Chain A
Amino acid sequence: MVNIEDLKAEAKRILKGGNVKYIIGYERPSNAWKANPVFARTPEDVDRLVWDPSCIHNLVRFVVDEKRRKAKEKPVDSRPIGVVVKGCDSRGIVVLIQEKFIERMDVFLIGVSCESTGVVDERKLAKKTVGTTVLKVKFGERMNYVVTTEDGILDIPAADIIADRCLECIASFPVVSDHLLGEKSKRDVPKPFQSVEKMESLPTKGKWDFWEDQLRKCVRCYACRSVCPMCYCDECVVDTINFAVTPETTAEEKAQRIKWLEKSPADSENIFYHLVRAIHLAGRCIDCGECERACPVNIPLRMLNKKMEKEAKELFGYDVGFDAEKPALMSCYLDGDPGDFIR
């Protein structure tokens, strides 16, 4: 069990020592059960830190922001930033290091183990608490969550309201950290790809009908891209204009901007965007599930990324986010890579 006091103690220690610039953790606002990211700079801030099943966010996303901020910073404060990371989040750090976007010393990782459970799925919880308002969610003693509502306390088996991604999680504790809290409890996941397999069993038409129906809902708010720690490109295929422009950028370079797709939220444009996102995350997505969670119209985006994760694993034996030393999925090959699909 992660002891929040230990977490706070460690956070205070590194802040006091001035070892870190600030610490990205979780706090819970007075008026909601859900935790929010918080950027703790003082011991007082640290006292607001929490760790409970509502700590859904992948805070590694803000490591990306920090790199951008640092680029403009004068004078540069090159101290690391502290980050509270779950198992999935920590694998995001590994990928960022693998892609040389950050260096290991840029971050001080306070690892929290999800142990045998994980974080809650807001929509699942909502269904379990119709007609009342949730005030607080806590880890129970054994595989359960204690949910405090306006009309009393509920004891809900974790399995009922845990996020899908946690059901398929292959790293319930951080694979890299500087200070680890909680047990390194190995959990065996018999079916890490069950959600995808269900999808795969559908006939071609069934698959298309499903996705057409889902992607039609997309309003292109790009929350999926914005919340993703791996979507750190300065420019994205869906952007309408060059961001990465300097006074040196020539008119030609600007003219090279390709209009792959329209801004209109039409099925064909939406699917193009999501296909590109899926292929660009192949071998990089660490299944923190943030894209799916952030989506305001509940498109099952994990199902795209998870498919790529599955193929990377099954076709090429590639695991994402465990080893920063090995080459990226798309920048290596094996002589024995399957070629049976080739004529």
Chain B
Amino acid sequence: MVEEFEPRIIAFLCKWCSSAGSDLAGVSRMEYPPNVTPIQVMCSGSVSPLYVFSAFHRGADGVLVSGCHPGDCHYIKGNYYARRKLALTKELLEHVGLEPERFQISWVSAAEGQKYTRIIKDFVNELKPLGPQAKLRRKPSW
């Protein structure tokens, strides 16, 4: 039998809300698929579009950027800048033909372990039918 495709997801989680929310999911022993590897950043506003491109370039099948809800940013407004930057990044990636499902942004507060869990589950389910992301992926030997 063929092994089911397991997407590799990189998740940039802001320290104050989304990473804390993901911690809460852990404390509450909620279960979600292990396909996601989180990278904690200080603020969603610190996520450069280059990080997103690079993750896809290094072979990620999906990329998630998650921060505090608007108005809740620990740094007051970092997530507003993130929202603008990442909107353009998403538009650009889709413009060159990357599947929209592959790059997602979410607001997850420190209290939303449940939501984080759901987002990861949905993300994985949406990526599986798409198969591996080969478009932007760096080809080891060209």
Interface residues of A (CB under 8 A from B): 199-200, 204-212, 237, 260-262, 264, 266-269, 271-272, 275-276, 278-279, 282, 304, 307-308, 311-312, 315-316, 329-331, 333, 335, 337-339, 341-343
Contacts and interface: CB of A to CB of B under 8 A. Distances in A.
A278 B99 contact: no
Interface in B72-97: 77, 80-81, 83-85, 87-97
Given A199-B95, A208-B97, A266 B87 contact: no
A341 B97 contact: no
Contact of A342 (B50, B53, B85, B106): B106
A272 B54 CA distance: 8
A276 B87 contact: no
Contacts, number: 112
Given A268-B138, A311-B87, A206 B92 contact: no
B91 A311 contact: yes
**A204, A304, A339, A342: most-surrounded residue (chain B CB, <10 A):** A342
A267 B91 CA distance: 20
B139 A260 contact: no
Contacts of A237: 50
Nearest to A262: B138
Interface of B: 49-50, 53-54, 57, 70, 77, 80-81, 83-85, 87-100, 104-107, 119, 135-139, 142
B87 A204 contact: no
Contact of A304 (B70, B92, B136): B92
14 contacts: A204-B97, A210-B97, A237-B50, A267-B139, A272-B53, A278-B92, A279-B92, A307-B92, A307-B95, A311-B88, A333-B77, A335-B80, A342-B83, A342-B107
Nearest to B95: A307
A258 to B, nearest CB: 9
B83 A333 contact: yes
Contacts of B54: 260
A312 B88 contact: yes
Contacts of A276: 49-50, 53
Could you tell me the dominant secondary structure of chain B's interface residues?
Answer: helix
A292 B98 CA distance: 23
A246 B53 CA distance: 30
Contacts of A200: 95
Given A260-B50, A260-B54, A261-B57, A341 B87 contact: yes
A207 B105 contact: no
A343 B101 CA distance: 12
A268 B57 contact: yes
Given A266-B142, A268-B136, A343-B104, A208 B98 contact: yes
Contacts of B136: 268, 271-272, 275
Contacts of A206: 97
A217 to B, nearest CB: 15
B78 to A, nearest CB: 10
Given A260-B54, A338-B87, 18 more contacts: A199-B95, A204-B97, A204-B98, A204-B99, A211-B96, A237-B50, A261-B57, A268-B57, A279-B49, A279-B92, A308-B88, A308-B91, A311-B91, A315-B87, A337-B84, A341-B87, A343-B105, A343-B119
